[in-house]
Chain A
Amino acid sequence: LAKTTQPISMDSYEGQEVNITCSHNNIATNDYITWYQQFPSQGPRFIIQGYKTKVTNEVASLFIPADRKSSTLSLPRVSLSDTAVYYCLVGDFFYNQGGKLIFGQGTELSVKP
């Protein structure tokens, strides 16, 4: 089971690019990397998922090096509404529908004006 490690907190200013890195040294061959965003009193919301290299969607990019032992969520030009907790989650979503999915401690991102 791949354990994840992230910074506990990060600060940024509006308009800046924010990069949050997650370590997952014992990631398995079938594991995918998924990132979630959580606001207070809400369930986490899916942001992006990838297996290797780079994935981009309308809200974020995900960079995964060749060894897949880490991943970086990149949020371009953050706004105050991006203030939230961000979780990296690693799991075998396709062959095992995820199975046992354990979230790490998450990164609390604070965006200031």
Chain B
Amino acid sequence: SQTIHQWPATLVQPVGSPLSLECTVEGTSNPNLYWYRQAAGRGLQLLFYSVGIGQISSEVPQNLSASRPQDRQFILSSKKLLLSDSGFYLCAYSSGRAGTGELFFGEGSRLTVL
């Protein structure tokens, strides 16, 4: 069966510190992968998406980056966090041409930058 995991679930970081959020998918090959961010009381903002290893499309400011070192691994990073980076980060995947078109989400990572 297909599953998606992301971690850590919760973290509190000081301004200017680095960030690494990791997401892994099981049970499917060559998925499209996504990172979304949700600020308090707001909608889902697309940060990055990837259609294959090493292929990253960015929709966001420069202090965040994403990497896809393996087919089913997606990492969100920052060298120096800003206060505005606080939010709920969600990793998601879609599973390909034979799939239902459904987007599957991880459990989320809540980041608080102080």
Contacts and interface: CB of A to CB of B under 8 A. Distances in A.
A49 B101 contact: yes
11 contacts: A36-B103, A41-B88, A41-B110, A42-B105, A42-B108, A43-B92, A43-B106, A49-B101, A87-B43, A97-B95, A100-B46
A65 interface: no
A80 interface: no
B13 interface: no
Interface in A67-110: 85, 87, 89, 91, 93-95, 97-106
Given A43-B106, A100-B57, A93 B34 contact: no
Interface residues of B, number: 29
Contacts of A97: 31-32, 51, 94-97, 99
B74 interface: no
A93 B107 contact: no
Nearest to A95: B97
Given A103-B43, A103-B44, A46 B102 contact: yes
Contacts of A91: 101
